[in-house]
Structure formats: C-alpha cells, structure tokens
C-alpha cells in the first residue's frame, strides 16, 4: 500500500499552505475589493483585530466529487475535493466548506443561505450519462445555479 506518511513532513507542508505564495501577497494586500481578510494590514497586530477580521471572512463552498469506483479500494472516502482548490480559496483570505455532491435539496438550500459563494471544480466526471438519470453532482450543481 506504499510508504506511510511522515507526519512531520505533512505538518510542515500544511504550514506552507497557511500563507499565500509571495507572488500573490502584493495583490492580496492591496485590498481593492472592500473585503477584509487575514492578510490586510488592518487585521494584523493584535488578537482583537485578527478575531474581528476572521468574522468578516467570506465562506466559499466547494462542491465535492465522487471517488471513481476504480480508486475506491485505495481511498477511504466516497467523495473528495482537491487540496489545491481549498488552498487557493484560503490564500485569498476566505474560509471553505465542502458541499457534498449528493446533498439533499433541503440541506443544500439551508447551507447556501449561510455561505458567500461556491467553487465548481473540473474533472473527468460524466455529468449526464443518461438523459433520464443525470449524475447527482449535476443535479446539485444545477440547484446551486438556480439558487444563485
């Protein structure tokens, strides 16, 4: 099943993702969008300022994708989001929440009322394998578009 993960290596890797790349930092610090994020200069310097800025962070949902049947034996989960998608949103100062691709309509509507946007990721998923029975990802994505 491969080499076990080195916990210290994983922790070090995650620490790198707690900060945006240097190439993005200047753009993020310009704050031309009117949204406070954790890298704004006014959010730095004191715990109270940092806590206030955390409360103003947008929350972006990421629609999960199902794990292909061919990979289920190597993967303990039925759905996933790519780490890079989560990181890009966090680097921009937002919080993220995973939206299950097969979430019920009632739960989806309740969730959408509490978040500020949704990222639809790409992939090799066949959205409409049969016109009579579209994939649950497709149904959920369509409900999100209609809600927006």
**How many C-beta atoms lie closer than 10 Å to residue 59's C-beta?**
14
Closest alpha carbon to 136 in 144, 52, 116: 144
Same domain, 103 and 76: yes
Location of structure tokens 């790519």: 82
What CATH number is associated with residue 78? 3.40.50
Cα–Cα distances (Å) from 45 to 32, 50, 59, 77, 92, in that order, read 21, 8, 23, 40, 19
In this predicted structure, what is the pLDDT of residue 147? 93
Which residue range forms the structural domain that includes residue 97?
58-148
Same domain, 64 and 126: yes
Same domain, 64 and 129: yes
Closest alpha carbon to 93 in 49, 52, 58: 58
Q: How many domains does the chain have?
A: 2
Same domain, 46 and 115: no
Structure tokens belonging to residue 85:
């998608």
In this predicted structure, what is the pLDDT of residue 17? 58
In this predicted structure, what is the pLDDT of residue 1? 42
Closest alpha carbon to 57 in 116, 98, 121, 17: 116
Tell me the per-residue pLDDT of 29-58, one tens digit each, with 9 for 90 and over. 665 555 555 555 566 665 666 666 666 678
As a whole number of angstroms, the distance between CA 136 and CA 144 comes to 12
Same domain, 53 and 67: no
Same domain, 79 and 33: no
- CA torsion, points 23, 86, 5, 15, in degrees to nearest 10? 50
Same domain, 104 and 120: yes
Same domain, 10 and 45: yes
Rounded to 10°, the helix 105-112/136-147 angle is 40
In this predicted structure, what is the pLDDT of residue 2? 45
Q: Which residues of the chain have pLDDT under 70?
A: 1-21, 24-56, 126
Same domain, 27 and 68: no
In this predicted structure, what is the pLDDT of residue 118? 95
């Amino acid at each position: 099943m491969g080499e076990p993960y080195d916990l210290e290596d994983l922790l070090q890797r995650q620490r790198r993702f707690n900060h945006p790349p240097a190439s993005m930092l200047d753009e993020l610090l310009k704050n031309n969008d009117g949204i406070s994020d954790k890298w704004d200069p006014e959010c730095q310097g004191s715990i109270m300022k940092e806590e206030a800025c955390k409360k103003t962070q947008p929350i972006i949902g990421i629609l999960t994708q199902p794990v292909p049947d061919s990979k289920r034996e190597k993967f303990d989960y039925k759905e996933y989001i790519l780490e890079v998608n989560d990181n890009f949103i966090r680097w921009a100062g937002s919080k993220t929440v995973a939206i299950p691709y097969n979430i019920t309509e009632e739960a989806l509507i309740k969730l959408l009322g509490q978040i500020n946007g949704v990222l639809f990721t790409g992939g090799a998923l066949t959205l409409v394998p049969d016109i009579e029975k579209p994939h649950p990802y497709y149904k959920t994505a369509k409900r999100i578009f209609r809600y927006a």
